[in-house]
Structure 1
Amino acid sequence: MKINIVKQSGIYTLTSEQILPISLEKAWEFFTVPMNLDKITPKEMDFKITNNPPAKTYKGQIITYKIGILLMIKANWVTEITHLEDHQFFVDEQRFGPYAMWHHEHHFEEIGPEKVKMTDIVNFKMPFGILGDLFGGTLVKNKVRFIFESRYTILEKFLKP
Protein backbone atom coordinates (compact mmCIF):
# COMPACT_ATOMS: atom_id res chain seq x y z
CA MET A 1 0.00 0.00 0.00
CA LYS A 2 1.24 3.45 -0.91
CA ILE A 3 -0.65 6.49 0.38
CA ASN A 4 0.63 10.01 0.04
CA ILE A 5 -1.01 13.38 0.69
CA VAL A 6 0.48 16.68 -0.42
CA LYS A 7 -0.92 20.21 -0.31
CA GLN A 8 -0.34 22.89 -2.92
CA SER A 9 -2.19 26.17 -3.34
CA GLY A 10 -4.83 25.14 -0.78
CA ILE A 11 -5.64 21.87 -2.57
CA TYR A 12 -4.84 18.53 -0.97
CA THR A 13 -3.97 15.62 -3.25
CA LEU A 14 -4.12 12.07 -1.93
CA THR A 15 -2.65 9.29 -4.04
CA SER A 16 -3.27 5.69 -3.03
CA GLU A 17 -2.10 2.52 -4.77
CA GLN A 18 -3.14 -1.02 -3.99
CA ILE A 19 -2.53 -4.32 -5.76
CA LEU A 20 -5.72 -6.40 -5.90
CA PRO A 21 -5.53 -10.19 -6.27
CA ILE A 22 -8.35 -10.33 -8.84
CA SER A 23 -8.79 -9.94 -12.58
CA LEU A 24 -9.41 -6.56 -14.18
CA GLU A 25 -12.91 -7.75 -15.08
CA LYS A 26 -13.74 -8.62 -11.44
CA ALA A 27 -12.19 -5.38 -10.15
CA TRP A 28 -14.20 -3.31 -12.62
CA GLU A 29 -17.40 -5.23 -11.82
CA PHE A 30 -16.93 -4.67 -8.07
CA PHE A 31 -15.90 -1.00 -8.06
CA THR A 32 -18.52 0.15 -10.57
CA VAL A 33 -21.41 -1.05 -8.41
CA PRO A 34 -22.29 2.04 -6.33
CA MET A 35 -23.73 0.01 -3.43
CA ASN A 36 -20.33 -1.66 -2.92
CA LEU A 37 -19.04 1.65 -1.59
CA ASP A 38 -20.83 0.78 1.67
CA LYS A 39 -18.73 -2.39 1.90
CA ILE A 40 -15.36 -0.60 1.68
CA THR A 41 -16.10 2.51 3.76
CA PRO A 42 -15.09 2.28 7.43
CA LYS A 43 -18.07 1.86 9.78
CA GLU A 44 -16.84 4.87 11.79
CA MET A 45 -17.84 7.11 8.88
CA ASP A 46 -21.53 6.18 9.31
CA PHE A 47 -21.80 6.24 5.51
CA LYS A 48 -25.10 5.60 3.75
CA ILE A 49 -26.18 5.95 0.12
CA THR A 50 -29.52 7.82 0.24
CA ASN A 51 -30.76 7.48 -3.33
CA ASN A 52 -31.26 4.25 -5.21
CA PRO A 53 -28.58 4.29 -7.93
CA PRO A 54 -28.70 1.74 -10.73
CA ALA A 55 -26.49 -1.31 -10.24
CA LYS A 56 -23.84 -0.09 -12.70
CA THR A 57 -21.90 3.16 -12.72
CA TYR A 58 -22.30 5.35 -15.82
CA LYS A 59 -21.18 8.81 -16.92
CA GLY A 60 -23.57 11.45 -15.61
CA GLN A 61 -24.78 9.29 -12.70
CA ILE A 62 -25.70 11.16 -9.50
CA ILE A 63 -25.20 9.41 -6.16
CA THR A 64 -26.35 10.92 -2.86
CA TYR A 65 -25.00 10.03 0.58
CA LYS A 66 -25.07 10.87 4.23
CA ILE A 67 -21.71 10.72 5.93
CA GLY A 68 -20.56 11.29 9.50
CA ILE A 69 -18.04 14.11 9.51
CA LEU A 70 -17.68 14.74 13.24
CA LEU A 71 -18.99 12.98 16.33
CA MET A 72 -22.75 13.43 15.92
CA ILE A 73 -22.69 15.62 12.81
CA LYS A 74 -23.75 14.15 9.46
CA ALA A 75 -23.41 15.84 6.10
CA ASN A 76 -25.32 15.35 2.88
CA TRP A 77 -23.08 14.66 -0.07
CA VAL A 78 -23.92 14.56 -3.78
CA THR A 79 -21.44 13.30 -6.37
CA GLU A 80 -21.59 12.92 -10.13
CA ILE A 81 -19.69 10.42 -12.26
CA THR A 82 -18.14 12.87 -14.74
CA HIS A 83 -15.80 10.60 -16.71
CA LEU A 84 -15.73 6.88 -17.40
CA GLU A 85 -13.52 4.78 -19.67
CA ASP A 86 -14.61 1.16 -19.53
CA HIS A 87 -12.19 -1.06 -17.55
CA GLN A 88 -9.74 1.85 -17.15
CA PHE A 89 -11.02 4.62 -14.89
CA PHE A 90 -13.92 6.67 -13.65
CA VAL A 91 -14.16 10.02 -11.87
CA ASP A 92 -16.59 11.20 -9.22
CA GLU A 93 -16.89 14.89 -8.42
CA GLN A 94 -18.76 16.55 -5.59
CA ARG A 95 -21.75 18.60 -6.67
CA PHE A 96 -22.87 19.42 -3.11
CA GLY A 97 -21.28 18.47 0.19
CA PRO A 98 -18.75 19.06 2.90
CA TYR A 99 -15.82 20.12 0.69
CA ALA A 100 -15.23 23.25 -1.35
CA MET A 101 -13.99 20.83 -4.03
CA TRP A 102 -13.75 17.03 -4.36
CA HIS A 103 -12.43 15.27 -7.48
CA HIS A 104 -11.75 11.52 -7.16
CA GLU A 105 -10.16 9.49 -9.95
CA HIS A 106 -10.35 5.67 -9.76
CA HIS A 107 -7.79 3.99 -12.06
CA PHE A 108 -7.46 0.25 -12.80
CA GLU A 109 -4.51 -1.38 -14.56
CA GLU A 110 -4.04 -5.08 -15.17
CA ILE A 111 -0.46 -5.95 -14.22
CA GLY A 112 -0.71 -9.73 -14.46
CA PRO A 113 -3.18 -12.59 -14.36
CA GLU A 114 -5.45 -12.05 -11.37
CA LYS A 115 -3.53 -8.89 -10.48
CA VAL A 116 -4.75 -5.31 -10.80
CA LYS A 117 -3.13 -2.09 -9.67
CA MET A 118 -5.82 0.25 -8.38
CA THR A 119 -4.82 3.89 -8.07
CA ASP A 120 -6.98 6.52 -6.41
CA ILE A 121 -6.18 10.19 -6.89
CA VAL A 122 -8.27 12.52 -4.76
CA ASN A 123 -8.04 16.31 -4.99
CA PHE A 124 -9.98 18.17 -2.33
CA LYS A 125 -10.21 21.65 -0.89
CA MET A 126 -11.52 22.69 2.49
CA PRO A 127 -14.57 24.95 2.74
CA PHE A 128 -14.26 28.47 4.20
CA GLY A 129 -10.92 29.19 2.52
CA ILE A 130 -7.92 29.75 4.74
CA LEU A 131 -10.04 29.56 7.93
CA GLY A 132 -11.33 26.11 6.99
CA ASP A 133 -7.77 25.05 6.26
CA LEU A 134 -6.43 26.43 9.53
CA PHE A 135 -9.14 24.96 11.73
CA GLY A 136 -9.93 21.74 9.90
CA GLY A 137 -7.27 21.00 7.31
CA THR A 138 -5.15 18.63 9.38
CA LEU A 139 -8.19 16.87 10.84
CA VAL A 140 -9.79 16.34 7.42
CA LYS A 141 -6.51 15.33 5.77
CA ASN A 142 -6.04 12.69 8.48
CA LYS A 143 -9.67 11.53 8.09
CA VAL A 144 -9.27 11.10 4.32
CA ARG A 145 -6.02 9.19 4.90
CA PHE A 146 -7.83 7.01 7.49
CA ILE A 147 -10.57 6.19 4.95
CA PHE A 148 -8.07 4.96 2.37
CA GLU A 149 -5.95 3.06 4.92
CA SER A 150 -9.16 1.37 6.12
CA ARG A 151 -10.21 0.56 2.56
CA TYR A 152 -6.86 -1.07 2.00
CA THR A 153 -7.37 -3.33 5.04
CA ILE A 154 -11.02 -4.05 4.19
CA LEU A 155 -10.13 -4.98 0.60
CA GLU A 156 -7.22 -7.18 1.70
CA LYS A 157 -9.65 -9.24 3.78
CA PHE A 158 -12.60 -9.06 1.39
CA LEU A 159 -10.67 -10.03 -1.77
CA LYS A 160 -8.45 -12.70 -0.23
CA PRO A 161 -7.90 -15.43 -2.86
Structure 2
Amino acid sequence: MGFYQFKASQDIPASVDEVWDFISSPKNLKEITPDYMGFDITSEHASEKMYQGMIITYKVSPLLGLKMDWMTEITHVREGEYFVDEQRVGPYNLWHHQHILVPTENGVTMKDIVTYAPPFGPLGDIANAIMIRSKLKEIFAYRKKVIEEKWGVLSAV
Protein backbone atom coordinates (compact mmCIF):
# COMPACT_ATOMS: atom_id res chain seq x y z
CA MET A 1 0.00 0.00 0.00
CA GLY A 2 1.41 3.35 -1.03
CA PHE A 3 1.08 6.66 0.75
CA TYR A 4 0.71 9.75 -1.39
CA GLN A 5 0.61 13.48 -0.94
CA PHE A 6 -1.18 16.08 -3.00
CA LYS A 7 -0.47 19.79 -2.55
CA ALA A 8 -2.33 22.83 -3.81
CA SER A 9 -1.79 26.53 -3.26
CA GLN A 10 -3.82 29.59 -4.20
CA ASP A 11 -3.21 33.31 -3.67
CA ILE A 12 -6.42 35.15 -2.83
CA PRO A 13 -6.99 38.93 -2.75
CA ALA A 14 -8.98 38.86 0.47
CA SER A 15 -8.33 39.06 4.19
CA VAL A 16 -7.49 36.04 6.32
CA ASP A 17 -10.75 36.57 8.23
CA GLU A 18 -12.84 36.52 5.05
CA VAL A 19 -11.20 33.38 3.69
CA TRP A 20 -11.21 31.65 7.08
CA ASP A 21 -14.91 32.33 7.59
CA PHE A 22 -15.63 30.74 4.23
CA ILE A 23 -13.35 27.66 4.29
CA SER A 24 -13.96 26.79 7.94
CA SER A 25 -17.72 26.57 7.49
CA PRO A 26 -18.89 23.04 6.59
CA LYS A 27 -21.94 24.47 4.79
CA ASN A 28 -19.62 25.86 2.09
CA LEU A 29 -18.11 22.47 1.19
CA LYS A 30 -20.80 21.74 -1.38
CA GLU A 31 -20.12 25.06 -3.14
CA ILE A 32 -16.43 24.21 -3.72
CA THR A 33 -17.07 20.60 -4.80
CA PRO A 34 -17.88 19.77 -8.45
CA ASP A 35 -21.57 18.95 -8.99
CA TYR A 36 -20.78 15.57 -10.58
CA MET A 37 -19.45 14.39 -7.20
CA GLY A 38 -23.03 14.39 -5.86
CA PHE A 39 -21.74 15.89 -2.60
CA ASP A 40 -24.33 16.26 0.15
CA ILE A 41 -23.67 16.95 3.81
CA THR A 42 -25.79 14.70 6.01
CA SER A 43 -24.69 16.12 9.38
CA GLU A 44 -27.33 18.14 11.19
CA HIS A 45 -24.85 20.75 12.44
CA ALA A 46 -23.24 21.68 9.12
CA SER A 47 -24.11 25.34 9.58
CA GLU A 48 -22.24 25.53 12.89
CA LYS A 49 -18.83 27.05 13.28
CA MET A 50 -16.12 24.42 12.92
CA TYR A 51 -14.45 23.15 16.09
CA GLN A 52 -11.89 20.54 17.06
CA GLY A 53 -13.60 17.17 17.41
CA MET A 54 -16.45 18.07 15.03
CA ILE A 55 -17.72 15.09 13.02
CA ILE A 56 -19.07 15.85 9.54
CA THR A 57 -20.87 13.22 7.48
CA TYR A 58 -21.50 13.29 3.73
CA LYS A 59 -22.82 11.34 0.81
CA VAL A 60 -20.53 11.53 -2.18
CA SER A 61 -20.32 9.87 -5.60
CA PRO A 62 -16.65 9.84 -6.58
CA LEU A 63 -17.02 7.11 -9.23
CA LEU A 64 -19.77 5.94 -11.56
CA GLY A 65 -22.45 7.87 -9.68
CA LEU A 66 -22.40 5.38 -6.81
CA LYS A 67 -23.27 7.10 -3.51
CA MET A 68 -21.02 6.32 -0.56
CA ASP A 69 -20.79 7.51 3.00
CA TRP A 70 -17.87 9.63 4.11
CA MET A 71 -17.20 10.81 7.65
CA THR A 72 -14.46 13.22 8.65
CA GLU A 73 -13.35 14.56 12.00
CA ILE A 74 -11.88 18.02 12.47
CA THR A 75 -8.83 17.02 14.50
CA HIS A 76 -6.93 20.32 14.78
CA VAL A 77 -8.01 23.94 14.60
CA ARG A 78 -5.98 27.10 15.04
CA GLU A 79 -8.42 29.93 14.36
CA GLY A 80 -7.51 31.91 11.26
CA GLU A 81 -4.42 29.79 10.56
CA TYR A 82 -5.24 26.16 9.84
CA PHE A 83 -7.46 23.17 10.41
CA VAL A 84 -7.10 19.47 9.70
CA ASP A 85 -9.79 17.02 8.67
CA GLU A 86 -9.22 13.27 8.85
CA GLN A 87 -11.41 10.58 7.36
CA ARG A 88 -13.03 8.27 9.89
CA VAL A 89 -15.26 6.38 7.43
CA GLY A 90 -14.86 6.46 3.67
CA PRO A 91 -13.08 5.21 0.60
CA TYR A 92 -9.45 5.70 1.70
CA ASN A 93 -7.26 3.75 4.09
CA LEU A 94 -5.87 7.15 5.14
CA TRP A 95 -7.06 10.70 4.44
CA HIS A 96 -5.43 13.61 6.29
CA HIS A 97 -6.15 17.06 4.84
CA GLN A 98 -4.41 20.19 6.13
CA HIS A 99 -5.99 23.56 5.24
CA ILE A 100 -3.50 26.38 5.88
CA LEU A 101 -3.86 30.15 5.53
CA VAL A 102 -0.79 32.38 5.30
CA PRO A 103 -1.25 36.17 5.31
CA THR A 104 0.55 37.99 2.51
CA GLU A 105 1.05 41.64 1.66
CA ASN A 106 -1.85 41.56 -0.83
CA GLY A 107 -4.16 38.98 0.71
CA VAL A 108 -3.72 35.39 1.76
CA THR A 109 -2.17 32.22 0.42
CA MET A 110 -4.37 29.18 0.96
CA LYS A 111 -2.42 25.92 1.04
CA ASP A 112 -3.73 22.39 1.10
CA ILE A 113 -1.74 19.28 1.89
CA VAL A 114 -3.63 16.01 1.44
CA THR A 115 -1.89 12.85 2.59
CA TYR A 116 -3.77 9.74 1.55
CA ALA A 117 -3.56 6.01 1.02
CA PRO A 118 -5.95 4.38 -1.45
CA PRO A 119 -7.59 1.07 -0.53
CA PHE A 120 -6.82 -2.32 -2.08
CA GLY A 121 -3.01 -2.36 -1.75
CA PRO A 122 -1.27 -2.62 -5.14
CA LEU A 123 -4.59 -2.14 -6.98
CA GLY A 124 -5.04 1.14 -5.11
CA ASP A 125 -1.56 2.20 -6.21
CA ILE A 126 -2.53 1.53 -9.82
CA ALA A 127 -5.84 3.39 -9.33
CA ASN A 128 -3.90 6.34 -7.93
CA ALA A 129 -1.60 6.44 -10.96
CA ILE A 130 -4.50 6.10 -13.42
CA MET A 131 -7.29 8.06 -11.79
CA ILE A 132 -7.17 9.21 -8.15
CA ARG A 133 -4.37 11.77 -8.45
CA SER A 134 -5.87 13.32 -11.58
CA LYS A 135 -9.30 13.42 -9.90
CA LEU A 136 -7.79 15.33 -6.96
CA LYS A 137 -6.21 17.82 -9.38
CA GLU A 138 -9.59 18.26 -11.06
CA ILE A 139 -11.43 18.80 -7.76
CA PHE A 140 -8.90 21.38 -6.56
CA ALA A 141 -8.94 23.13 -9.96
CA TYR A 142 -12.71 23.46 -9.58
CA ARG A 143 -12.30 24.83 -6.08
CA LYS A 144 -9.72 27.34 -7.35
CA LYS A 145 -12.19 28.53 -9.99
CA VAL A 146 -14.96 28.99 -7.40
CA ILE A 147 -12.60 30.93 -5.09
CA GLU A 148 -11.50 33.14 -8.01
CA GLU A 149 -15.14 33.84 -8.89
CA LYS A 150 -15.79 34.80 -5.26
CA TRP A 151 -12.73 37.01 -4.61
CA GLY A 152 -10.97 37.50 -7.96
CA VAL A 153 -7.39 36.78 -8.92
CA LEU A 154 -4.43 38.24 -7.08
CA SER A 155 -2.64 40.23 -9.75
CA ALA A 156 1.13 40.55 -9.85
CA VAL A 157 2.36 43.96 -8.74
TM-score of the aligned structures, taking structure 2 as reference length:
0.91
The aligned runs of 1:136-147 (5 Å cut-off) are: 136-137=127-128, 138-147=130-139
Residue matched to 1:72: 65
Return the match for 1:62 from 16, 41, 55.
55
Aligned-partner Cα distance in 1 for 2:105–2:36: 34
| Counterpart mapping for 1:107-146 below 5 A | 107-113=100-106, 115-134=107-126, 136-137=127-128, 138-146=130-138
Question: Take 2:51 and 2:40, find their aligned partners in 1: how far apart are those partners?
Answer: 20
Amino acid corresponding to residue 146 of structure 2 in structure 1: I
Q: Is 1:29 the equivalent of 2:21?
A: yes
Aligned to 1:105: 98
Q: In the alignment, what sits opposite 1:51?
A: 43
Instruction: Could you tell me which runs of 5 or more consecutive residues in structure 2 were left unpaired when the two chains were aligned.
Output: none
More strand by share: 1
Aligned CA-pair RMSD? 1.4
Match of 1:96 among 85, 89, 97: 89
**TM-score when scaled to structure 1?**
0.89
| Partner AA of 2:81 in structure 1 | Q
Structure 1 gaps of 5+ residues are 1-8
